[in-house]
Amino acid sequence: MKKNIGKKGLLFVFILLFTHPLIGGNPKDRPNVILIITDDQGYGDLGITGNPHVQTPVIDRLAEESVRLNQFYVSPVCAPTRSSLMTGRYSLRTGVRDTYNGGATMAAEEITIAEMLKGSGYRTGIFGKWHLGDNYPFRPSDQGFDESLIHLAGGMGQPGDFTTFFQENRSYFDPVLWHNNAQKAYDGYCSDIFTDEAIGFIEEHYKEPFFCYLSFNAPHTPLQVPDEYYEKYRDIDPSVGFGAEGQPSAKMSDKDLEDARKVYAMVSNIDDNVGKLLRKLNELDIADNTIIVFMTDNGPQQRRYNGGMRGLKGEVFRGGVRVPFFIRLPARFPQNMDVETTLAHIDVMPTLAALCQTELPTDRIIDGKNFLPLIEGKKTTEFESRPLFFYWTRRLPELYTNIALQKGPYKLVGNTDYDAIVEDFELYHVRHDEHELNNIVQSNLTLATEMKSELDLLLSELTNSPHLTHPQRIIIGSEHENPVYLNRNDASGERGIWTQEEVFGLWKVKIKGGKYNIRFKFIKPLENSGKMILETSGKIIQWENKNVPTDFIELKDVLLPEMESDLIPHYVSGGRSIFPLWVEMEKIGD
């Protein structure tokens, strides 16, 4: 389980060892698992979902060989989706409430798919995007992964991913990535690198059961792609076939058109990489006993073809939360099968537990359900009777903005004020009105009132989750990570800390007492002399800087007491208070 396995890990391993009949048997009988997820690829960014432009022959063929979950839903943005996928729980229960602003850190106490499968004898690896915490004890290696190759933060080229940030329009090429928590330079294009490393992991471990999480950061912005893929789409008009009668009206700007060309090129590259992976499974003769899942994490960020659905990434309408989901296991599943039941990201972990003959954690609420009976043709009503919760606003859910509850075919949407009456909500029958254009709340007030009550109860429960009300702290000075790099993705303070210089920011930390060297990196060179200040709850450190211009300041031999604290760095000069891009803290003694 974890390197510092703790009570959580020991209890879970104990349950597996002594309650599951197959533990201690032959783990080779269990299927391998490859979970492929792409970033900001919408439902409509595949040929099989009706896109007339994008070329995805490999993924289309995979879909035809798979069970297709045609009503599959995720969160409107990436980190919440990924935490729910990894744990089978709503993201707010896991402490994940945002994509940055210090809200994309999943609680260390959460049990992930990787931990669950590792406890059953699986080798585990992640390749690509994690986005659930970049420091100990939240990294993939702390959450069940034996092998990890990731970028930091929510995307390459973002300020939180400082090892690629300064590469600007080449951040996806020849990147510095993090291999097993150490920086390492790679040659090539990011999606190719992640796939090649995933294949290497499979080649090394194919004789034992493995879990491979191939988590592409494409086609997320910045939209960078090798020229040979862009050339395939340079001259197309992505607006052709975009809209149709009865669908929401939309017009693609010149930027939308060019963005679509680049996204389609990035998706074609992913398609080639998926093909390379599938060929390797055939070469190793393990395809029949390998679960392949292909899905995406939310709707498209930019306006383009999306199956006619209303909404984009970040919105609770179907265009923001409905994604493709294909699952293939030739030794067990039928090919070319459609499932129309409403399912979601929270259902993946329970289903994999059933398929891999392991046990779910029993000491916490698991919101998801095992959908294996649906694939086996068994009738069940439990999915249609359960509510699914969606929201997206920065930091925490807002009453009642961009929030929804779906139950069976009905979906209640709130885009109104905190004290709104039920008539101010929107109600849709998503099977009869798949584009969510016909608000039927006035003729269904009793149903809408019941659904609003369910929404309020679930929202109250989730927002009072212990991992949310007691934010997780990065541990500084431990033997598991030294030095520690604090990046902007995990910084709290003002909303929307990104590339601003004059912004108030902080990190929530737990410091092991001792002597430290502390380094501050700034986005731009500091032009004027000033004072570097580091505030903590136990001590305030200040140092006069006259060495300008510089974008780097180092404070040596700083003695810090043991404490839980907000760590607040700022450079004060000429009435300005400048927040660093990142802070490195290296413990050098007790």
Q: In this predicted structure, what is the pLDDT of residue 61?
A: 98
How distant is the alpha carbon of residue 475 from its chain centre? 22
Q: In this predicted structure, what is the pLDDT of residue 2?
A: 41
3-state class (DSSP) for residue 186: coil
Domains of the chain are 6-378 (3.40.720.10), 387-469 (3.30.1120.10), 474-589 (2.60.120.260)
Rounded to whole angstroms, the Cα distance separating 497 from 98 reads 12
Rounded to whole angstroms, the Cα distance separating 35 from 577 reads 44
447 membership: H or E segment, kind and range? helix 445-463
| pLDDT tier for residue 8 given thresholds of 50, 70 and 90 | low
| pLDDT tier for residue 79 given thresholds of 50, 70 and 90 | very high
Q: In this predicted structure, what is the pLDDT of residue 242?
A: 72
- Which tokens in the block code for residue 565? 């604290």
- Which tokens in the block code for residue 67? 């069970």
Rounded to whole angstroms, the Cα distance separating 370 from 341 reads 12
Burial of 286 (0-12, 13-18, 19+ CB in 10 A): middle
Burial of 209 (0-12, 13-18, 19+ CB in 10 A): buried
pLDDT of 207 strictly over 70: yes
* Least confidently predicted of 122-136, 267-281, 374-388, 436-450: 374-388
Q: 392 with 314: CB under 8 angstroms?
A: yes
- The whole-number average pLDDT for the span 448-461 is 97
pLDDT of 556 strictly over 70: yes
Burial of 476 (0-12, 13-18, 19+ CB in 10 A): buried
At which residue do the structure tokens 């780097």 appear? Answer: 552
pLDDT of 18 strictly over 70: no
- Which tokens in the block code for residue 411? 């979906």
- The whole-number average pLDDT for the span 49-72 is 97
CA-closest candidate to residue 115, choices 84, 91, 93, 141: 141
Q: 73 with 405: CB under 8 angstroms?
A: no
Rounded to whole angstroms, the Cα distance separating 539 from 174 reads 41
| pLDDT tier for residue 243 given thresholds of 50, 70 and 90 | low
Total residue count of the chain as it appears in this document: 590
Burial of 284 (0-12, 13-18, 19+ CB in 10 A): middle
* Least confidently predicted of 318-332, 358-372, 374-388: 374-388
Burial of 250 (0-12, 13-18, 19+ CB in 10 A): middle
Q: 363 with 11: CB under 8 angstroms?
A: yes
3-state class (DSSP) for residue 565: strand
Contacts of residue 39, defined as CB under 8 A and 6 or more positions apart, other chains included, come to 78, 129, 155, 215, 216, 217, 218, 219, 220, 296, 297
| pLDDT tier for residue 241 given thresholds of 50, 70 and 90 | confident
Higher pLDDT, 10 or 89: 89
Strand ranges in 53-113 using DSSP code E only, listed in sequence order: 67-69, 72-73
Q: 267 with 56: CB under 8 angstroms?
A: yes
Q: In this predicted structure, what is the pLDDT of residue 247?
A: 58
Q: Both ends of the chain: CA-CA distance in Å?
A: 29
At which residue do the structure tokens 């099977």 appear? Answer: 431
- Which tokens in the block code for residue 293? 């899942």
- The whole-number average pLDDT for the span 377-381 is 89
How distant is the alpha carbon of residue 538 from its chain centre? 35
pLDDT of 77 strictly over 60: yes
- Which tokens in the block code for residue 256? 């939308």
Rounded to whole angstroms, the Cα distance separating 161 from 510 reads 22
Q: In this predicted structure, what is the pLDDT of residue 6?
A: 46
**Amino acid identity of 467?**
H
The DSSP string of 384-435 is: HHSEEEEE--SSS-BTTBSEEEEETTEEEEE-S-TT--GGGSEEEETTT-TT
Cα torsion 330, 334, 336, 341 to 10°: value is -120
Q: Residues of the chain with pLDDT > 70: what percent?
A: 94
* Least confidently predicted of 286-300, 318-332, 371-385: 371-385
At which residue do the structure tokens 């009949």 appear? Answer: 21
Global pTM?
0.94
Rounded to whole angstroms, the Cα distance separating 323 from 425 reads 24
pLDDT of 13 strictly over 50: no
Question: Whole-number mean pLDDT of the chain?
Answer: 94
Query: Between β-strands 505-511 and 474-476, what pairing exists: parallel, antiparallel or unpaired?
Result: parallel
Radius of gyration of the chain (CA): 24
Q: In this predicted structure, what is the pLDDT of residue 248?
A: 56
* Least confidently predicted of 102-111, 237-246, 265-274, 551-560: 237-246
pLDDT of 1 strictly over 50: no
Rounded to whole angstroms, the Cα distance separating 262 from 224 reads 7
Contacts of residue 79, defined as CB under 8 A and 6 or more positions apart, other chains included, come to 91, 96, 98, 99, 103, 104, 131, 132, 154
Q: In this predicted structure, what is the pLDDT of residue 29?
A: 79
Rounded to whole angstroms, the Cα distance separating 413 from 435 reads 13
Per 3-state DSSP, the chain is made up of helix, strand and coil in percentages (nearest 5) of 25, 25, 50
Rounded to whole angstroms, the Cα distance separating 80 from 586 reads 31
Query: pLDDT for 146-185, tens place per residue?
Result: 999 999 999 999 999 999 999 989 999 999 999 999 999 9
Q: 368 with 350: CB under 8 angstroms?
A: yes
At which residue do the structure tokens 């390379």 appear? Answer: 276
Edge-first strand order for the sheet with 426-429 is 387-391, 403-407, 410-414, 426-429
Q: 271 with 58: CB under 8 angstroms?
A: yes
Q: In this predicted structure, what is the pLDDT of residue 240?
A: 87
Q: In this predicted structure, what is the pLDDT of residue 381?
A: 87
Q: In this predicted structure, what is the pLDDT of residue 28?
A: 65
Query: pLDDT for 383-422, tens place per residue?
Result: 988 999 999 998 889 999 999 999 999 999 999 999 999 9
- The whole-number average pLDDT for the span 523-539 is 96
Contacts of residue 354, defined as CB under 8 A and 6 or more positions apart, other chains included, come to 370, 372
